[in-house]
Amino acid sequence: MADSSRKTDLENLISYCDDLSRVLKDRKDMNNLAYCLQQSQALQSSCDTHSSEVQSFLQDYQRKIDECKEKTEAAISKVVVDVELDQLERELHEELAKERLLMENMR
């Protein structure tokens, strides 16, 4: 059974080779094949160029995202400091008000 399978595979291979040699003997087919190869190389070059551009854009956008994150973190920390300052100022006013009341009560 294995010999029969090998014989079939060998016959298919020989048939394929015969078909391929007939195609390559025809000058028109050879020209078409060369044209397809040339076009595929041009397409590959174009894809490589576009890929490089996209990579560059992605790096630029990532840099911009990182800058925005830094600005956001700076703004958040500034807001936190402002809130803390406001709270300390309120506490100071409350303490001053208490001190005035004590001073008035002592008089």
The number of distinct structural domains making up the chain is 1
What letter would DSSP give residue 26? S
pLDDT digits (tens, 9 = 90+) for 50-103: 999 999 999 999 999 999 999 998 888 877 777 888 888 898 899 888 888 888
How far apart CA 67 and CA 61 sit, in angstroms, is 10
Judged against a pLDDT cut of 80, whether residue 22 lies above it is answered with no
Q: How many residues does the chain have?
A: 107
Q: Residue 64 sits in which domain range? A: 2-106
Angle of CA points 28, 18, 27, to nearest 5°: 10
pLDDT digits (tens, 9 = 90+) for 1-21: 456 677 778 888 888 888 877
Q: What is the pLDDT of residue 88?
A: 86
Maximum Cα–Cα distance across the chain: 122
Q: What is the pLDDT of residue 3?
A: 66
Does pTM top 0.85 for this prediction? Answer: no
Tell me how far the alpha carbon of residue 45 is from its chain's centroid.
Answer: 21
6 or 34, greater pLDDT: 34
